[in-house]
Amino acid sequence: MSYANKRPGGRIMPARRLTPHVDPEKQFEKISQAIEEIYKHNASQLSFEELYRTAYGLVLSKNGPMLYSGVKQVLESHLKDRMYQDIYPHIDAAGGRPTSGACEALLASVRLLWSEHVTAMLVIKDVLMYVDKVYVKAAQLPTIYEMGMCVFRDQVLLASNQLLSNKVVDAIMFQILHERVGAGDVNRDTLRGVVNMMIELQDPRQLRPMYDVCVEKRLLAETGVYYADIARMRISEMGAPEYLRVAQANLDTELERAKDYLSPSTTPALTNSVLENLIEAYTLPILKIPNAGLIDMLDQRDTESLYTLYRLYKPFHSSMQVLRTCIYDHTLELGKKIMLGVESSSENTVTGGSPKPATDVSGIAARTAMALRWVQEVLSCYDVYDMLLKQSFADDQDMRNTIKDAFIEIINANARAPELLSLFIDDNLKNGLRRKTEQEIDHLLERCVLMFRFLKNKDTFEHYYKLHLAKRLLFGRSLSDDSEQSLVSKLKVECGSQFTLKLEGMFKDMQLSSDVNRELRESSIGSDLGFDLNVSVLTPTFWPTMASSGASSGPRVIAHETGTDNSGTRGSGNRDANNGTKAPASSGILIPSTGGISTAIEKFTSHYLKFHSGRRLTWQYGMGNADLKVHFRSRTHELNVSTYQMIILMLFVDGEQDISLTAEQIHIQTRIPFEPLARHLQSLACGKYKVLIKTPMSREISPSDVFVFNSGFKSPQYRIRIPVISARNNVETEQEKEASQAAIGQERQYVIEAAVVRIMKTRRQMTHEQLVNETVDQLSARFMASPKMIKSGIEKLIDREYLQRSADDPRLYLYLA
């Protein structure tokens, strides 16, 4: 018979294992007894393999529900017994008036019971692992361990209407208060253990840790009450620094307590509760404590107390707003005090308390000294606040903005601030950099740029800075070319290249003039002059119109010549690139023939135009200076004088030394305008060095006053500089200020018109309001353009047919290509 025709055989199954019948009750009794032994710490005597098989068999025989509920009953029974034996006696002892010892005993007994229960449950869950794996998972019940935790919660903490839970919380609160008031130490290990128990156990109603529901909620409430009482008692007894230190110490203690034995989640809320009651509720009273508040901390530069204040106020937005407002107001008050103090000091020390005319020399000097002091004190004040900002306020950006806004207000409240800042820079670059390190110089320049940044009318500063820079460059007064260039570079970074275009052009002119002078000295013309001649050839568009040391109304400074003469002379000259014809060597001033000055001027003009055809030179004698060797009866002196002073002195050395001339005669012979002539005669006859003798001996100069050469002049110094009255940079008089404001206003009108054209060229059409707002925004970096000025500029542009009004809407402007 073929195997292919046979049917395949059936599958052979293994024989069913026959297990003997077991009594579930007896099997569970083993589990129950084992649990009791585990609680008695006799787990090492048990056979875990046997217990596991017993539980396995019960689950396999469909007795999982009986096993699960039975284990729960065993746990409940055990915990009830322990409650009566170990816990209730301590509850009774802690009743009535609690003590720290009674509370400690209660918490320790609860902690011990909990610890033993947790240890036991860890073993029990391992024994009943198969129950969790099969039965619990299928029935969707809590695991054995979780069920054990619930049993502990219900039979221990929540039994008898939450009796123990309430007592435990009471004991925790008592111990915390006991520790807060400094009545004694508490057992933090015990507290930590009980708190961890409350964290692990879930509240059955709110499904949150019992710690959150029972402990934390009450802790925060009692903390608020406690520190509210502390604040009420201490705020009236302490100054702000001491109160802040107490507040910080309390906060640190609470944070340390929270870290040691409370839940980490409590820390933010606890911090907030402490600070709300100690700080936020008394935000303003703390700052206003008489003689020990914020103002005193700022004035005393109490960086530590201010840092504590900042840290405590920082969590509260409203408190920080109040703090910033107080600092802003106090800073403004300091600014007013600085201004009043400087003005008062100037009047009392220089003018003796009695006002003097605006043109009086001492009055001008006093106002200039006041200007320099005002800038210095404002910058010093800012340095203090900048230090406090970094050391006490963590360089907080909002605080930095507050301080910045305050100083913007202080600086711009002084209408002369741009002029005074320029004078301050001028004084430091001429005199103040001596004995300063490179770092100190850079810090000074940075502070000057910072003050410049705070100016709202930067174009006004530019006007004065160009005037002062021009004098420094032309008279060689600057102590450091590097510092000059550095400051211009900083201004360029601050405002862009357009702002510094003319300033850089002035430096370029001086460099080119240096090259021209070098070429002149190397030429045959230079060697034939008989004295050193240095000429500054300047571009008209770069240099400002300014009142020179000798010019009455201030001719356009286009070129400047300086030189050294064996007899002592210097002069000035100008370049005009717009005219190809040769101009006269003189601009109306007559120079005596003695000394070869006129010849030198003519030779230089010829030499310069030979290499620079198509240009025109105009000499500006009011901007020059000279070194003269003058022979007096006792000895020879070298006098450093202005070109106008040189011309005046040459009238007296041109003939006999006893020659006498009236001021009117000098005016006619030199053609120097009378106003600058009077100042130069004052400096020669009425100053410290009286090279000329004036009759009558008054300080004022009149046309009939007579001057003679002082051949008997004596001085211990060989080299003498004779300063010109008002030649140095000073605060402008009201008349000069009006002239400057007029020039600045005219320049602003040009800038406004150019801005309007740029805007309209891009937008093509805009309403009046839109155009005004856009123009103000674009020009805000240079000055605050008023709507009136903008409207005037728009009207002029309409007249010149750059713009036109819409026929449909008169308030709509159209750009005309």
The pLDDT score that the predictor gives to residue 361 is 52
The pLDDT score that the predictor gives to residue 481 is 87
Which pLDDT band holds residue 726 (cuts at 50, 70, 90)?
low
Cβ neighbors of 124 (< 8 A, separation 6 or more) are: 35, 38, 71, 144, 145, 148
**Contact 559/612 with Cβ under 8 angstroms?**
no
**Contact 724/679 with Cβ under 8 angstroms?**
yes
- Of the listed ranges 4-8, 579-583, 783-787, the one predicted with least confidence: 579-583
- Of the listed ranges 47-61, 354-368, 430-444, the one predicted with least confidence: 354-368
pLDDT at 7 over 60: no
Tokens of 109: 């007994």
In this chain, the answer to whether the domains covering 24-201 and 210-278 adopt an identical fold is yes
Q: Angle at CA 449, nearest 5°, toward 510 and 507? A: 5
Which pLDDT band holds residue 529 (cuts at 50, 70, 90)?
confident
Query: What is the rounded average pLDDT of the residues 106-132?
Result: 93
Which pLDDT band holds residue 656 (cuts at 50, 70, 90)?
low
pLDDT at 637 over 60: yes
Query: What is the rounded average pLDDT of the residues 255-269?
Result: 94
How do beta strands 692-695 and 706-709 pair?
A: antiparallel
523 against 349, higher pLDDT: 523
pLDDT at 355 over 80: no
The pLDDT score that the predictor gives to residue 625 is 82
The pLDDT score that the predictor gives to residue 576 is 39
> pLDDT for 411-461, tens place per residue?
999 988 999 999 999 988 888 788 888 898 999 999 999 999 999 999 899
Query: What is the rounded average pLDDT of the residues 750-765?
Result: 89
pLDDT at 570 over 50: no
Query: What is the rounded average pLDDT of the residues 471-492?
Result: 88
Which residues face 176 on adjacent strands? none
Which residues face 694 on adjacent strands? 707
In 3D space, the residue among 500, 480, 479 whose CA is nearest the CA of residue 489 turns out to be 500
- Of the listed ranges 68-77, 139-148, 204-213, 650-659, the one predicted with least confidence: 650-659
Average pLDDT taken over every residue of the chain: 84
10 against 166, higher pLDDT: 166
What are the residue ranges spanned by the domains of the chain? 24-201, 210-278, 317-505, 506-723, 738-815
Question: Would you tell me how many other CB atoms lie within 10 Å of the CB of residue 664?
Answer: 14
Query: What is the rounded average pLDDT of the residues 175-200?
Result: 93
In CATH, 738-815 is 3.90.1010.10: no
Which pLDDT band holds residue 621 (cuts at 50, 70, 90)?
confident
In CATH, 506-723 is 3.40.50.1970: no
**Contact 468/731 with Cβ under 8 angstroms?**
no
Tokens of 423: 């004078």
Its CATH architecture, for the domain 24-201, is Up-down Bundle (1.20)
The pLDDT score that the predictor gives to residue 801 is 86
| 210-278 CATH fold | 5 helical Cullin repeat like (1.20.1310)
> pLDDT for 781-807, tens place per residue?
888 888 999 898 888 888 888 888 888
